[in-house]
Structure 1
Amino acid sequence: MKKIKQIFYLGIKGSNSFLAASLSAGNKVKLSGLASFEEIFRSVEKESSAAGILPLENSLSGSIYEIYDLLTDSKTFITAETEVRINHALMQKERTGLQKIRYCLSHPEVFRQCRRFFSDNPSIETVPVADTASAAKMLKELGPDTACVANPAAAAVNNLRIKKEHLEDNRNNYSRFITVGRKLKQHGNKISLMFNLKHVPGSLYKALSPYARLGLNLTKIESRPIPGRLWEYLFYVDFELNNGKHGFDEIITAMKMLTKNLKVLGRYDKYDKIKNS
């Protein structure tokens, strides 16, 4: 596989995606921020020596469906995963009381993960922006009645003052990031698939039965409506192979017989928290 020379991520330096990219990148790998998830996918499709890192799901707010939708249509594949502990910090140019904050900038996903804080402070109007690091950068040009929520690293980059850390509803807050590239890896102990089913009774049960028969660990199943096709769904599945490798050919053969439009979204190694702690 061609050596990766560049990794694309969402936003600018100081974002959570930048942090994930920094953890995943090796020496001499260029990190490049882009404005949207779609732009990351398109850029990776054009460059064989590039990869993109994207948030796929959060332990509090669940899946980021835009990524699943883009994976479905993309010519890229998942090649790795990593987990990043998230710390949503409220920051200002100058510290003031909470009662003086009228507006707060951040990414919409951040506001979803911090529902309790904003419910307890209803006078603060949430203002969605492209990413958390951009919110911190914008804050430098705004008045004292505006704050933002971002990674603490963004405060250091932009010379901001942290008012409060860990705004998230639960401190056990992790985001799962995936790396995408142009080539499907031939090795790895974790697989991601996408498929749809005939609209008949028992079709989902039959599609999932081979996992039990082969003793495979099904770690996730997600469904998404198919645009323009009423009450039809795409299914996304993650599973782990036996002993790291056994079962791939068997499950793919079985799924081709039981599903429609089967697509392997990626093959990669399961993230090891202990190894990476």
Structure 2
Amino acid sequence: MNQLEKARQTIDQIDAEMASLYERRMDAVKEVLAYKKENGLPVFDETREQAVIDKNSVRIQNPEYQEFYKDFLKKLMNNSKDYQRTLLSQHVIAYAGVQGAFSQIAAARLFPNDQKLNFKNFEEVFKAVVDKRAEWGVIPFENTNSGLVGEVLDALLEYPVYIQEVYDLKVEQCLLGIPGATLKDVEWVYSKDQALMQSRNFLKQLSVQTISYPNTAMAAQYVASQNDKTKAAIGAKENAQLYGLEILASQIEAHTENTTRFLVIGLQPKTSGNRSSVLLTVQHTSGSLAKIIEVIARHHINMESIQSRPIKGRPFEYFFFVEMDGDAAQVQACIEDMKENCESIKSLGTYSLGGQ
């Protein structure tokens, strides 16, 4: 055995001991987290963390190693915090809006027994999942009448998340007003821009002014607070009971089969299901996109849809969202062949289409 082999054998033995000690340490971390959770304490305690680093650094006898050991301890502490946040996020579901929003309704149907956290907008839901304040996020992605939600597509490109499941929710839009109001009283209608778009034919007949709101439930909440007969909101019928409103008209969407597709997002890619999707940019040369489509066809994969979206900060340049039917292995082989003609490509995973 030469010098290199002897040194590596020593390292292997130490690594085995460290693995055992690491498990013991993380078991203790679980106990710490249980106490913190019971007593409402935060995961990060800056004073305690610095004390641990200072106390343990002086135990290093060789001064050459001290700064490196401090760095090791900091990484170990970050690893511990990450693990604690992962445990805390389990069975926590993030959605955008307040109670009564379609996202909240979808989240309740998908995860009836889990804790729900609401956020002001879609991007905050993405951040909650990335920061491990929630295990999953429920996000509206596409509607049969108004199309894709562009800001969600942007966030899928920006944040390191993956699609876990797709859930289709049949949406019935209602016009909601304060008690005693009639359709003739309404002059202003508040709702999410997609809901206003879905109900545009009905609103045109009413000859009203429309105001876009972050989501449908917040619009209903606002109308209830104003106690003004001239103001109404578009939203789910559940909002009438939640906020003390009356349904002035129901099924006001342009098409009665109005359905919104929701995504469940998480941090780990799924590899089982009947649908896969990717986000990609192509080389700015003639035929680049056509080559991508040819690759999909060559792998005998059905391309369910392809949609373009402007790239932020790059005027008149676009990225593409591609949905494909096929198993994970088949799609992964296809993605590998796509790379030759892509500037960038992000797989969003292989997942299942849910019901209504």
Contact 1:14 1:133 (C-alpha < 8 Å) held by counterparts: yes
* Matches of 1:254 and 1:26, distance apart in 2: 41
1:199 corresponds to: 284
- 2:347 counterpart letter in structure 1: V
1:132 corresponds to: 216
Q: Identify the range of structure 1 (249-258 vs 36-45) with the bigger mean alpha-carbon deviation.
A: 249-258
* Matches of 2:112 and 2:216, distance apart in 1: 24
Q: CA deviation at 1:48?
A: 7.0
Contact 2:94 2:134 (C-alpha < 8 Å) held by counterparts: no
**2:346 is aligned with 1:263:** yes
* Matches of 2:121 and 2:134, distance apart in 1: 20
1:147 corresponds to: 232
1:167 corresponds to: 252
The 3 A distance-change label for structure 1 pair 246 and 138 is same
2:145 corresponds to: 60
1:213 to 274, 284, 298: 298
* Matches of 1:133 and 1:60, distance apart in 2: 20
Q: CA deviation at 1:99?
A: 2.0
Contact 1:37 1:67 (C-alpha < 8 Å) held by counterparts: yes
- 1:205 counterpart letter in structure 2: A
- Where do 1:36-185 residues align within 5 Å? 36-47=121-132, 50-122=135-207, 124-142=208-226, 143-185=228-270
Q: CA deviation at 1:79?
A: 0.9
The 3 A distance-change label for structure 1 pair 259 and 120 is same
Q: TM-score, normalized by length of structure 1?
A: 0.92
Contact 1:80 1:180 (C-alpha < 8 Å) held by counterparts: yes
Q: Secondary structure at the match of 1:231?
A: coil
Structure 2 unaligned blocks of 5 or more: 1-85
1:10 corresponds to: 96
Contact 2:309 2:318 (C-alpha < 8 Å) held by counterparts: yes
Contact 1:77 1:181 (C-alpha < 8 Å) held by counterparts: yes
- Higher strand fraction (1 or 2): 1
Q: Secondary structure at the match of 2:201?
A: helix
Q: Secondary structure at the match of 1:130?
A: coil
Q: TM-score, normalized by length of structure 2?
A: 0.72
**Number of residue pairs matched by the alignment:** 269
Structure showing greater radius of gyration is 2
Structure 1 unaligned blocks of 5 or more: none
The 3 A distance-change label for structure 1 pair 63 and 49 is closer
**RMSD, aligned CA:** 1.8
* Matches of 1:230 and 1:148, distance apart in 2: 36
Q: CA deviation at 1:230?
A: 3.9
Q: CA deviation at 1:41?
A: 0.6
* Matches of 1:61 and 1:128, distance apart in 2: 14
